[in-house]
Structure 1
Amino acid sequence: MTGADLNGAEQLSLDAARTYLLSAAQAQGVALEVYARRTAATSIEAHTGEVSEFKVSTQQGVGLRALVGGAWGYSFTENLSRPALERALRSAVQNAELVAPEAGAALRAWGTPPSVDTWGEGLSGVTAAQKVAVALQLEEAARRHDPRVASVPYTGYEDSQTETLVGNTEGLRREGRALHALTYAYPLAREGSENRMSGDWQFTRDFAGLDPTQTALTAAQKSLALLGARPAPTGTFPAVITGECLADLLRLFASMFSGRMVEEGKSPLAGRLGEVVASDLVTLVDDATLPLGLRSRAFDAEGCPSAPLTLLEGGRLKAFMHNAQTAARAGLDSTGHAARLGYQGVVGVGASNLAIQPGTTPDEAVTAGVTGLLLTQVKGGHAGADPYTGDFSLQAEGFWLEDGERAHPLDVFTVAGNILDLLSQIEALGSTLDWTLEATGAPAARVPALAVAGG
């Protein structure tokens, strides 16, 4: 039990609320799924040697999904008193009665999930003062690295501790917890009238493993490297794409591997299962069981056990990501990719840790001998990337390469193409995997031709 609300009603714990709801649903003959979550978070920002923001927040609630006559009805509540839970159950049932039945709708009780450590060393014993010190150290190290670092507009420390419970009236019960600790720094480099900004970050589940000074120095060096930019040429050139940039492109098009998008005809991969759709160097795996993955988990939003899923193998399309319902409609089993945006959201399909697997080419050999483009960042994905077709036209940053060496940075330019064409052109993959904060990963890649439009 966790106290009372303003009206004096007793507030249940997440576990007790789940038990109460499932018991009430079973007594009424209602098929019900409960998704409960509690998140405690800290956010600290630093600026000019002082803490500019310090936030501590806690959010918890319970999401309900009732199955009535083959139709789903959703509701949620952040009030965990018995009367509020009963109202939420009635709302879920009533909402289900208002919508049409859906093929494949059913609740399931899966087997035991794998053991996945998403907690690490935890944050017990870590004080607020220690977290503040990390944020201040980040900002100071970046600012003092070079006189051309004019300021550090974005720098800070964040952490979150999340408890997730899933259960349904088929007897399924799941409990999990996850810890995220993150530092980031984005320094502004200035020389004359030219301003450039890049950044770096570090994710960990072990506070003692944070290295704010190294993160700050790497961020400052990335920003400084962009100074002295020259206009980019226009044309089609050989290109090397950094791992982080390729991973960001992958993020923009991850939904094309969703079974729901495929069945709705909103993926360029629809109807192509078993076909070669990328270079034979490309193997793409989504793996929620990675020990240090940003989106690792033992089970998905429906409680289905997590397991690695190979989507592309040697360039051949092997599978799509599915939740229980999209899998049933495809005549398959769930791949453990049910996703929902917290207890307020509805169940969909989503990736966990999605990565193009590293190749065998040493990283330095990927750029060897290349005269052309080194693509380091793309921007504007919300408007410039179409996951329905795979086409993209994106603002970008990078460098010009001469015989494999960085000659000079380039002013902002545009790159255009199609993600499947790009993946099909890959002729070398580096051996180091880089990740984005959205849990997509890739090694550096070399392609023979990329369309560029300079400023």
Structure 2
Amino acid sequence: KPEPIEYAKKDVTWNMASTEYVKDVLQSLEAKILAYDPRVIQVGYLDYSQGSGSRSIVNSLGMDVQDADEMQYIVASVVVKEEEEVKDASLVEVVYDFEKYDLDSFVSRVCDKALNKLKATPIPSCTCPVIFEKDTMTSLFAAFTGLFNGELMYKGISPLKDKFNEQIFSEQITIIDNPKNTDCLSIANFDDEGCPTSSKTLVDHGKYVMMLHDTRSANRMHTKSTGNGFKSGYASSVSVQPMNCYIVPGNDSFEDLCTKIKDGFVVQNLAGLHAGLDFVSTNFSLQCSGFWVKDGKRDKNVTLVTVANNFLNMMKHVISVGNDLDWSYHQVVSPSIAFEECTISGE
């Protein structure tokens, strides 16, 4: 007999834009981007998408559950040039209501993202405090969410297989997985096996307290599914996957993090993420770019360096967790985090 499902519902009203309105917005957006700075030479592309979908599971055992989602978002890519140097950047933004949306803020963020890449140079190799800005920390964290995968735990692949109820991270780190989190773009009241979803604390102030399961991994480990059996596509098989999984934000602003590290490096872009990390050992060495912080303030743009550390070890040595958690379109997310040290390989 199916378990009863308690339904969570997003308290959001989407104001879906008409075709003509979208056309006007994109034309205005292009004009604003090109007028933002003389170094902006081209709008690489503009895109708007909207859509809705639903899913249901019905069977002869009494299962009859439904979910629905909708969304709209804009994307812009900007190309900038100074002397002979050319850089680009893009930004994706979920928009609930274009009539209330701050288009000028979007323009400044995507343009500044590209402009801040100009005049970047390598720095000498060093070991120093590092801030992973929220987008790069989100990417790194997402690459290691398999640490809490019950199937990998059963197979002995997860580095946390013998560390249940142990202190694995700094006390500042709490990790929650909650498919019903209404702050997120998508919610799921049940997984793709029909099991109810719920909020689960995976790491509680640094202590590893829970893993994620679908029915198969749960049966193998003599427990119950956590409602994390999802498909990556309609025709794919069910596997253990996090949904709306996040590192709980702290109290410090990004500027506060810079002040706390005083002199160090801020990682804003990562490349070669899956080729440059080892999931079993959690070692990583990734090409990156960002900027140097001097006396707590932004100093110079940095590029063509690599950042290296061991993820499990790094997460034990946290200076501070930022307050800038931003779900946007993500299902795994982290705020910016300042760490005691990483190895930077440059000149």
Which digits, 9 at most, give the CA deviation of each residue in 1:87-121, with x for residues without a partner? xxxxxxxxxxxxxxxxxxxxx61212322228x32
Are residue 343 (structure 1) and residue 234 (structure 2) matched? yes
C-alpha distance 297-206 of structure 1, shift in aligned 2 (>3 A): farther
Are residue 412 (structure 1) and residue 279 (structure 2) matched? no
* Aligned residue among 428, 431, 434 for 2:320: 428
| Alpha-carbon separation, structure 2, partners of 1:271 and 1:433 | 30
Q: Is 1:200–1:216's contact at 8 Å kept on the other side of the alignment? A: no
> Corresponding residue for 1:449?
341
> Corresponding residue for 1:115?
8
* Aligned residue among 162, 165, 172 for 2:63: 172
Q: CA deviation at 1:208?
A: 4.1
Counterpart AA for 2:249: P
> Corresponding residue for 1:103?
none
Counterpart AA for 1:110: E
| Alpha-carbon separation, structure 1, partners of 2:331 and 2:28 | 26
C-alpha distance 209-292 of structure 1, shift in aligned 2 (>3 A): farther
Q: CA deviation at 1:368?
A: 0.7
> Corresponding residue for 1:68?
none
* 1:13-412 pair list within 5 angstroms: 109-117=2-10, 120-122=12-14, 126-368=17-259, 370-412=262-304
SS at match of 1:432: coil
SS at match of 2:304: strand
Give the alignment's Cα RMSD to 1 decimal: 2.0
- Runs of 4+ in structure 1 off by over 6 angstroms are none
| Alpha-carbon separation, structure 2, partners of 1:292 and 1:303 | 22
Q: CA deviation at 1:205?
A: 4.1
C-alpha distance 205-389 of structure 1, shift in aligned 2 (>3 A): farther
| Alpha-carbon separation, structure 2, partners of 1:288 and 1:256 | 18
C-alpha distance 450-131 of structure 1, shift in aligned 2 (>3 A): same
| Alpha-carbon separation, structure 1, partners of 2:280 and 2:130 | 25
SS at match of 2:26: helix
Q: Is 2:5–2:189's contact at 8 Å kept on the other side of the alignment? A: no
Unaligned 5+ segments in structure 2 are: none
SS at match of 2:281: coil
C-alpha distance 403-233 of structure 1, shift in aligned 2 (>3 A): same
Which digits, 9 at most, give the CA deviation of each residue in 1:370-425, with x for residues without a partner? 11101112121131123233221111111011011011100221111221112111
| Alpha-carbon separation, structure 2, partners of 1:389 and 1:232 | 28
Q: Is 1:184–1:215's contact at 8 Å kept on the other side of the alignment? A: no
The higher-RCO structure (CA 8 Å, 6+ apart) is 2
Counterpart AA for 1:379: A
Q: Is 1:244–1:436's contact at 8 Å kept on the other side of the alignment? A: no
Q: CA deviation at 1:431?
A: 2.2
Q: Is 1:244–1:435's contact at 8 Å kept on the other side of the alignment? A: no
Structure of larger gyration radius: 1
Which digits, 9 at most, give the CA deviation of each residue in 1:187-221, with x for residues without a partner? 12210121222333221444544444321221101
Counterpart AA for 1:115: A
Counterpart AA for 1:238: P
Which digits, 9 at most, give the CA deviation of each residue in 1:160-211, with x for residues without a partner? 2111111233211111110121112221221012122233322144454444
Counterpart AA for 1:162: G
Q: Is 1:294–1:353's contact at 8 Å kept on the other side of the alignment? A: no
Counterpart AA for 2:4: G
Q: Is 2:46–2:75's contact at 8 Å kept on the other side of the alignment? A: yes
Counterpart AA for 1:399: F
Instruction: Tell me how many residue pairs correspond in the alignment.
Output: 346
Q: CA deviation at 1:309?
A: 1.2
| Alpha-carbon separation, structure 2, partners of 1:159 and 1:270 | 42
SS at match of 1:381: coil
Counterpart AA for 1:398: G
Q: CA deviation at 1:305?
A: 1.9
Q: Provide the TM-score with structure 1 as the length reference.
A: 0.72
Q: Is 2:14–2:71's contact at 8 Å kept on the other side of the alignment? A: no
C-alpha distance 291-114 of structure 1, shift in aligned 2 (>3 A): same
Q: Is 2:169–2:316's contact at 8 Å kept on the other side of the alignment? A: yes
Counterpart AA for 2:106: T
